[in-house]
Amino acid sequence: MQGAPGGGPGPGPSPVDRWMLVVFSFIMATALGQMNFTGDQVLRVLAKNEKQLSVLRDLDGLKPQKVDFWRSPAKPSLPVDMRVPFSELKDIKSYLESHGLAYSIMIKDIQVLLDKEREAMAKSRRLERSTSSFSYSSYHTLEEIYNWMDNFVTEYSDIVSKIQIGHSFENRSILVLKFSTGGSQRRAIWIDTGIHSREWITHATGIWMAKKIVSDYGKDRTLTNILNAMDIFMEIVTNPDGFAFTHSMNRLWRKNKSTRPGMFCIGVDLNRNWKSGFGGNGSNNNPCSETYRGPSPQSEPEVAAIVNFITTHGNVKALISIHSYSQMLMYPYGHSLEPVPNQEELYQLAKDAVKALYEVHGIEYIFGSISATLYVASGITVDWAYDSGIKYAFTFELRDTGRYGFLLPASQIVPTAQETWLALRTIMEHTLQHPY
Amino acid sequence: MPPRRQPPPASGPWGPRPAVLLLAPLLLLLALQGVAAAPVGAEGPEDSPGLQDAEFPSGLLQQAARAALHFFNFRAGSPSALRVLAAVLEGRATVNPKKGCQVDLVFTTDHYNPEVGEEHLGKCSARVFFRNQKPKPAINVTCTRLIEKNKRQEEDYLLYKHMKQLKTPLDVTSIPDSHGHIDPSLRPIWDLAFLGSSYVMWEKTTQSLHYYMAQISSVNQWKTNDDTIDFDYTVLLHEFSTQEIIPCRIHLVWYPGKPLKVKYHCQELQTPEEASGTEEGSAVAPTELNNF
């Protein structure tokens, strides 16, 4: 929550005082009909001893009322705050001065303050309905992200739409954003983030990039060219059940939340459940393992939804699956060391993308095939994509290299997203320029 | 000689390259378990040096560097002078299929807590011996001295004083929190915990498994007196390449300038049979006597 502005050092109403003021005025307004506080001031007085305190206490209870204590006289050295009606200001100030009581003016005109508060609250309610107040440099809950998506799609409805491609094991919607400037069944780029729920930086990066796409269309030539010819599909919360679980119970949960009768452990590693090299050494058939592959390829609804969507679409030309952490950009295969046919091209493209990334903030990525760069992993997304005919299949491992790992500080969200975007744009541009 | 596979990738931990990076002919340990899987059927000779790059487990030099650095950090016993791996400059491995794998290497290091403007790359040379996929590699490591010993002790002592001023019992659940935030006042705790975890991570590292410290999940006891800090905590280690999160209960005793004392107990991976009754983490006191 934002702190109240002007809550800096020196005299001035603290956020608590301001809030009390507003509450007070609302109560008063309802009780007495709208009251007007124009010209009323709040004075702060510091009594140095008991004698001075009693001088202040004498002001209390007078009829007609001369002051209204917000902080009553209690002890010397504790400030006394009192609201003085406009009509009484001259008298009260003389009274204080004649008794040697120093005072300062905390609020020069209460009504002005009240009006500002009312205005700010109305503004804030208006802002919530626009995506510009959503913080792109914070981590969010599933509800917040899904709400943001609705606002986002409404605000940029000329380019973005929302598609539901299925349901998760716990029956949450699986949602994809479609960025399109028209056409029908255009060549498309698929991006997914959050397939491993603990990798929070990936969802945050996806959200930032979504906003970047709509902001840059018409301004950035490369992106505009891409979107004028191709569509972009972005699935931000690829594992909604897991993600909800990282908020509620276990921040370091990786898998989905599926269970089967007789199984004591929960969850399948969604990045081992794809139908390419399924069941190899780079996955585990122990349900309690973090890399449990599941009972069969595509057994998991979260994976099946994507497979169905991409297969039915039939015109996806690039797939980028985003993970963290390790700072790597990689291409197939994960399940074997065998190089893919266009390995040389992918190597060069990865090299260019990593260079573009580096130029933003000086962050170094290594690149290569998954099995050679990271480790052997079987049944993974990009292997399936490649074997399904998607020539440009890449996987990112975002920041960092282990210092914070999954718990990457929110302050790194925007820098990470900025650099990742340039790498991604490099890949998308290459895809655009090399139709197949 | 079979053709060399393509050179390792350009940037990052492999360092500025290829002129400097030496991969001398390697004897290969066959039938590697787990991750670094050789293509099926590709068995090579056991006793002759051969260039079998296709089966070279990716990152063996990195593994060795990490293990060496964990050991170095533990032995230095200084939470204000922790180092991280920057790049491997050169390395050579020899494999004895019966005994294990010896790696000689040179690597650069960076400050764990990088300060603005500070550019001090340190350099280490190490000999690491992995015993056939068993943990606790034997390590011989020397690093260029970057910070003068007195200055280092001074910094440690400042940390120590800072830690003594923390209000106990410590009102923290996890460090960092879910959003990666560590309160600046608690940062020394993280560094000290990392120092203790270094001992654990050294012992657990093998040719194919390595670790990062993910989070301090609980502080069980934090006692400071005039000559020690007595710190009992549970840490979550992230294990590569299995992706497992391993809770470890660690108990350390530290005082600036004195060698670190560590006891620990890590939870084993659940199997389906054990899973049903097992509670998260062993609340049992550490049973493994380590270097106390």
Judge whether B43 lies within some domain.
Answer: no
Please report which confidence band the pLDDT of residue A86 belongs to, taking 50, 70 and 90 as the band edges.
confident
Q: What is the pLDDT of residues B218-245, one digit of tens each?
A: 999 899 888 899 999 999 999 999 999 9
- Residues from B in contact with A at Cβ < 8 Å: 6, 8-14, 34-39, 54, 58, 84, 112, 174, 176-181, 212, 214-215, 236, 238, 240-245, 269-272, 275-276
Choose the mutation target among B5, B58, B211 for the interface with A, i.e. most A CBs under 10 Å.
B58
Q: How many residues does chain A have?
A: 436
Q: Per-residue pLDDT for B285 more than 90?
A: no
| Position with higher pLDDT, A356 vs A82 | A356
Q: What is the pLDDT of residues A187-241, one digit of tens each?
A: 999 999 999 999 999 999 999 999 999 999 999 999 999 999 999 999 999 999 9
User: Which chain B residues contact residue A247 at CB under 8 A?
Assistant: 178
Share of residues in chain A with pLDDT > 90 (%): 69
What's the pLDDT score for residue B77?
Answer: 95
Q: A10-38 as b/e, with b when 16 or more CB fall inside 10 Å?
A: eeebeeebbeebbebbeeeeeeeeeeebe
Q: Helix A200-216 vs helix A142-155: angle between axes, to the nearest 10 degrees?
A: 10
Q: Per-residue pLDDT for B22 more than 90?
A: no
Average pLDDT over residues A85-89: 85
**Mean per-residue pLDDT of chain A:** 89
Q: How far apart are CA A228 and CA A219, in angstroms?
A: 13
Please report which confidence band the pLDDT of residue A130 belongs to, taking 50, 70 and 90 as the band edges.
low
What's the pLDDT score for residue A327?
Answer: 98
What's the pLDDT score for residue B5?
Answer: 36
Q: How far apart are CA B70 and CA B82, in angstroms?
A: 9
Three-state secondary-structure class, residue B211: strand
Please report which confidence band the pLDDT of residue B259 belongs to, taking 50, 70 and 90 as the band edges.
very high
Q: Per-residue pLDDT for B30 more than 60?
A: no
Q: How far apart are CA B31 and CA A326, in angstroms?
A: 27
| Position with higher pLDDT, A132 vs B121 | B121
Three-state secondary-structure class, residue A234: strand
Judge whether B184 lies within some domain.
Answer: yes
Average pLDDT over residues A45-52: 84
Given the residues A88, A199, A397, A429, select the one marked as catalytic.
A397
Contact B6 A412 (CB under 8 A): no
What's the pLDDT score for residue A9?
Answer: 41
Q: Which residue of A lies nearest to B181 if distances are taken between CA atoms? A: A409
Judge whether B33 lies within some domain.
Answer: no
Average pLDDT over residues B83-96: 92
Average pLDDT over residues A406-424: 98
What's the pLDDT score for residue B173?
Answer: 81
User: Which chain B residues contact residue A264 at CB under 8 A?
Assistant: 272, 275-276
Nearest C-alpha neighbor of A242 from the set A176, A198, A177 = A198
Tokens encoding B213? 């410290």
Q: Per-residue pLDDT for A78 more than 80?
A: no
Average pLDDT over residues B56-81: 90
Q: Per-residue pLDDT for B101 more than 60?
A: yes
Is A397 catalytic? The answer is: yes
What's the pLDDT score for residue A105?
Answer: 80
Give the pairing type, strands B261-266 and B83-96.
unpaired
Identity at A275, one-letter amino acid code: K
What's the pLDDT score for residue B282?
Answer: 32
Tokens encoding A340? 């893919």
Q: Which residue of A lies nearest to B55 if distances are taken between CA atoms? A: A337
Measured between CB atoms, which of A264, A284, A365 is closest to B276? Answer: A264
Tokens encoding A130? 């626009």
Judge whether B38 lies within some domain.
Answer: no
Judge whether B53 lies within some domain.
Answer: no
Q: How far apart are CA A175 and CA A235, in angstroms?
A: 6
Nearest C-alpha neighbor of A42 from the set A114, A106, A119 = A106
User: Which chain A residues contact residue B174 at CB under 8 A?
Assistant: 251
HSE (side-chain half, CA atoms, 13 Å) at A305: 24
Q: Would you say the ipTM is above 0.85?
A: no
Tokens encoding B284? 């049992």
Tokens encoding B217? 């999940």
User: Which chain A residues contact residue B215 at CB under 8 A?
Assistant: 251-252, 407
Contact B272 A288 (CB under 8 A): yes
Do residues B199 and B206 touch, judged by C-beta distance below 8 A?
A: no
Nearest C-alpha neighbor of B254 from the set B174, B165, B189, B203 = B189
| Position with higher pLDDT, A370 vs B166 | A370
Please report which confidence band the pLDDT of residue B48 belongs to, taking 50, 70 and 90 as the band edges.
very low
| Position with higher pLDDT, B171 vs A233 | A233
Q: Per-residue pLDDT for B277 more than 50?
A: no
Q: Per-residue pLDDT for A84 more than 90?
A: no
Share of residues in chain A with pLDDT > 70 (%): 86
What's the pLDDT score for residue A38?
Answer: 79
| Position with higher pLDDT, A195 vs A115 | A195
User: Which chain B residues contact residue A200 at CB under 8 A?
Assistant: 178
Q: How far apart are CA B120 and CA B82, in angstroms?
A: 13
How many domains is chain B built from?
1
What's the pLDDT score for residue A16?
Answer: 56
Max Cα distance, chain A (Å) = 94
What's the pLDDT score for residue A14?
Answer: 60
Judge whether B47 lies within some domain.
Answer: no
Q: Per-residue pLDDT for A122 more than 80?
A: no
Measured between CB atoms, which of A281, A337, A366 is closest to B12? Answer: A366
**Mean per-residue pLDDT of chain B:** 78
Q: Per-residue pLDDT for B39 more than 60?
A: no
Average pLDDT over residues B37-42: 33
Nearest C-alpha neighbor of B241 from the set A14, A188, A269, A165 = A269
Judge whether B122 lies within some domain.
Answer: yes
Domain that holds residue B262: 60-266
Do residues B63 and B205 touch, judged by C-beta distance below 8 A?
A: yes
CATH of residue B151: 3.10.450.10
Which of A33-37, A268-272, B47-51, B270-274 bottoms out in mean pLDDT, i.e. has the lowest? B47-51
Q: Per-residue pLDDT for A18 more than 70?
A: no
Least Cα separation, residue A166 to chain B (angstroms): 27
Judge whether B50 lies within some domain.
Answer: no
Identity at B277, one-letter amino acid code: G
Please report which confidence band the pLDDT of residue A67 belongs to, taking 50, 70 and 90 as the band edges.
confident
Cis peptide before B39 (omega within 30 of 0): no
Q: How far apart are CA B40 and CA B62, in angstroms?
A: 25
What's the pLDDT score for residue B68?
Answer: 98
Q: Per-residue pLDDT for A330 more than 50?
A: yes
